[in-house]
Structure 1
Amino acid sequence: MARPDSAPAATAPEGLHTALQFVKGVGPARARQLRRLELETVEDALFFLPYRHEDRTRLTSFRSLVPGETHSCAGVIVSLSPPPRGRRGAPFAVVLRDATGYVTASWFHAPYLERVFARGQRLVLHGKVGRFRGSVTLQHPDFEIVESDDDDRIHWGRLVPVYHATEGLGQRPLRTLLWRLVEAHAASLVDPLPEPVRARRALPALGESLRSAHFPETEPAAATARRRLAFDDFLVLQLGLGILRARTTRARGIAMNPRGQLGERLRATLPFALTRAQERVWGEIRTDMASPHPMHRLLQGDVGSGKTVVAALAVATAVEAGYQAAVMAPTEILAEQHLLTFGQLLAPLGLPVALLTSAVTGRQRAARLRAAVAGELACVVGTHALVQEGVEFRRLGLTVVDEQHRFGVEQRARLRAKG
């Protein structure tokens, strides 16, 4: 999630920017392991959230394991079966016992486990249950060796966090470290959300949310914590978009404010009236096009909701204002479909539409490139071929990008730069 603590170090709460190497019990070797997880400071660790929680208040007994389902269970190792020499593809297997029976757990390509496991160890396992030769098995489950110590309350009898780990740093030491850091530093984080905002949205404080995101008392508490942290992420995203929008509105663009005759003629050819949603969206786009600033709009709707008609009205407006339009699609099939649709909508207005993809070659391609640079084409429909060198327009004023998420930022920028 996004971190609120971006203030200078002089005003940051003490300890958040401490390098993990200098935290008690860490040291240089453990710090190198943590660095592989991109954890450098105490603050990094606080926002290193678990990818799931394991309910160790309700472990499944071996007798109750159901093949095909995912379960958490625990037992004591009674035997180990490393793969025979020369059979590297064979699994490493252990047999475990609990009060109700036995289960076999196996791991492929894991010969190192022979140095990790020993008879008499207690393991917690989490994975999908199967059946092999009549026996209940768990293949390649997550595991943790249970040790009795002063921190047992962190690892047992509660919702236990499970983190992305790294070689040499297992769940137990990682969880112990994060418990200590959360307890010592979560409350010292500066909360970016004012209390009235949190109250209005029923959101807990940041420190409380981080504590519950790592070590929740209940599943609802974990869900509430995730909701608060997700809210922060979306808030940062919206603020970033707002800043970009503010910069865009200060930039100089093209004011397209024709009388709207082509748009009216286009609407007159339609066998239906625009819906209220289409009218509202077109009104907003029309206002943006008339302003002297660049327009960046996302037009979103289900298939068949009428997005293409709105885009065609924008194309007609741009052409009436003396400019050309380009429509870019991610695939040649979609580009051909758009050529057909835009052609049907714009042909009655006398506006020529042409296709430009990698499949258009030779004399035909050269002719369309000449027509585009001469301003003879009102609208060019194409794929990424539109952003290639050699494709130029006389007065490109409007670009419509279908499924814009499938194009890179640079590709969209190159198309805009042709205007």
Structure 2
Amino acid sequence: MELIISGKRLLTGKQLAEIKISHVPGIGEKRARLFHKIGIYNLFDLLYYLPRRYEDRRVKETLNDVEAGEVATVLGTIENIEEVKLRRNLSLLRVAVHGNFGSCTALWFNQPFLKRSLRKGLPISVTGKVERNLYGYEISVADYELGSLKNPVHVGRIVPIYGTTEKLSQRSLRRIMYQCVSSYAKTVKDLLPPELSSELRLIPLSQALTQIHFPADMDSLKMARQRLVFEELFLFETGLSRIQQHIRKEGVARLPKNRLPEDFLASLPFTLTQAQQRVITEIKRDLSSATRMYRLLQGDVGCGKTVVALYALLHTVAAGYQGVLMAPTEVLAEQHFLGISRLVSQLGVRVRFAYRRTHGEKGREQCLEVN
């Protein structure tokens, strides 16, 4: 079965994920198993299988400013082809190339089969490490491309380098990716509102997918990254918002019956940061509402998360309920117990320490309570 997408119909990510990788032209069932090894099972996976890095293989106008051992790319015409047998099971293919850059000798080691595809007068682009000797420049070829550079894939441009697997070469994967991006990137539905993209000056999704795989220049690559990163964060935040709306349930408004939370803040031997004050205000609002609170408190080590969490506990206790602070280890739990005990020792709050070392072993099980 061959994948054919025609007309002006745009496909969502879900629809792209329904198209098996084996249905993409040039892959098939046998090669699809190789793609499965790198986590590509469908067209969506393929389009979003982003390069690990990039190599600048744009053509050099001259080799005069290239240092020995530096990688460079040149474009020229084949002038001569020579195969040299160095020793048993080792051969060298020497190809003389001439172009606007001057002349060089392209070297392939142990690849005699390439001789069948090369011929005198054929345009060729080669990239590799450059060395200079008495006879001129030599390039140990890492990659090449035959013909003109009208639509270059492997050289003559900023080239993507992908993670591969055994029997799936970089050239094969890159060629398939180029065909896929050229054919299907424009069929992907852009989920960002047009007015938002315009306001933030984000490029269209089809352009971002094209430029993230085969960038025209480094600026285009930067804009593609910005577009895809923003989309990922935008969809993540949208998803969280929908989840929050879905799980929003009625709770119990916890209204303090005394000034315990405020007395706690006033007793602190330090001043809260603006961030702590802002988050405490938000938590107070959430706990005082009739809706359950779902909140992740995130911050760097030492920024004061424990004090904020303790305020939430005391707000709950002052409303006549119980509060529990759980820690992943007994050592950390004991540290919290000692620290919190010092902070609330003058507020009439008795802190209890509870732990259980192993399943089935009886431990001390107590609770946080007010005197």
* Residue-by-residue CA offset, 1:40-61 (whole Å, 9 max, x unaligned): 3333322222111111127899
Partner of 1:407: none
Pair 1:118 & 2:111 matched:
yes
Does the 8 Å CA contact 2:322/2:369 hold for their aligned counterparts? Answer: yes
Does the 8 Å CA contact 1:77/1:118 hold for their aligned counterparts? Answer: no
AA partner of residue 241 (structure 1): L
The CA deviation at 1:184 is 1.4
Long gaps (5+) in structure 2: 1-9, 75-81, 97-102, 115-124, 130-140
Question: Cα distance 1:199–1:158, how it changes in 2: closer, same or farther (>3 A)?
Answer: same
The CA deviation at 1:356 is 3.5
Pair 1:218 & 2:209 matched:
no
Match of 2:68 among 54, 64, 67: 64
The CA deviation at 1:200 is 0.5
Does the 8 Å CA contact 1:80/1:119 hold for their aligned counterparts? Answer: no
Runs of 4+ in 1 over 4 A off after TM superposition: 58-63, 71-82, 96-103, 119-126, 149-152, 357-363
3-state secondary structure, aligned to 1:146:
strand
Partner of 1:278: 276
Equivalents in 1 of 2:307, 2:268: separation in Å? 9
Equivalents in 1 of 2:87, 2:348: separation in Å? 79
Pair 1:293 & 2:291 matched:
yes
* Residue-by-residue CA offset, 1:75-107 (whole Å, 9 max, x unaligned): 99989999xxxxxxxxxxx9x99999999xxxx
The sequence identity of aligned pairs, in percent, is 33
AA partner of residue 153 (structure 1): P
Pair 1:318 & 2:316 matched:
yes
Partner of 1:35: 36
Partner of 1:344: 342
Partner of 1:134: none
AA partner of residue 5 (structure 1): T
Equivalents in 1 of 2:68, 2:41: separation in Å? 43
Equivalents in 2 of 1:150, 1:30: separation in Å? 29
TM-score (structure 1 length as normaliser): 0.64
Partner of 2:137: none
Equivalents in 1 of 2:330, 2:84: separation in Å? 61
Equivalents in 1 of 2:84, 2:195: separation in Å? 57
* Residue-by-residue CA offset, 1:199-240 (whole Å, 9 max, x unaligned): 111100010000001100101111110110111111111011
RMSD between superposed Cα atoms in Å = 4.2
Partner of 1:133: none
Q: Write the mapping of 1:205-284 to structure 2, written as runs, cut at 5 A.
A: 205-249=204-248, 251-284=249-282
Question: Cα distance 1:74–1:187, how it changes in 2: closer, same or farther (>3 A)?
Answer: closer
Question: Cα distance 1:79–1:190, how it changes in 2: closer, same or farther (>3 A)?
Answer: farther
Does the 8 Å CA contact 2:57/2:155 hold for their aligned counterparts? Answer: yes
* Residue-by-residue CA offset, 1:134-166 (whole Å, 9 max, x unaligned): xxxxxxxxx955353678821111101111112
* Residue-by-residue CA offset, 1:313-357 (whole Å, 9 max, x unaligned): 211111122222222233444323212221111222232223334
Question: Cα distance 1:295–1:77, how it changes in 2: closer, same or farther (>3 A)?
Answer: farther
The CA deviation at 1:260 is 3.8
Does the 8 Å CA contact 1:62/1:101 hold for their aligned counterparts? Answer: no
Equivalents in 2 of 1:329, 1:56: separation in Å? 53
The CA deviation at 1:263 is 1.4
Pair 1:335 & 2:333 matched:
yes
The CA deviation at 1:358 is 5.2
3-state secondary structure, aligned to 2:323:
strand
* Residue-by-residue CA offset, 1:365-385 (whole Å, 9 max, x unaligned): 64x31x34xxxx339xxxxxx
Partner of 2:12: 5
The CA deviation at 1:246 is 1.2
Equivalents in 2 of 1:299, 1:237: separation in Å? 18
Equivalents in 1 of 2:258, 2:326: separation in Å? 24
Question: What is the total number of aligned residue pairs between the two structures?
Answer: 321
Equivalents in 2 of 1:41, 1:64: separation in Å? 44
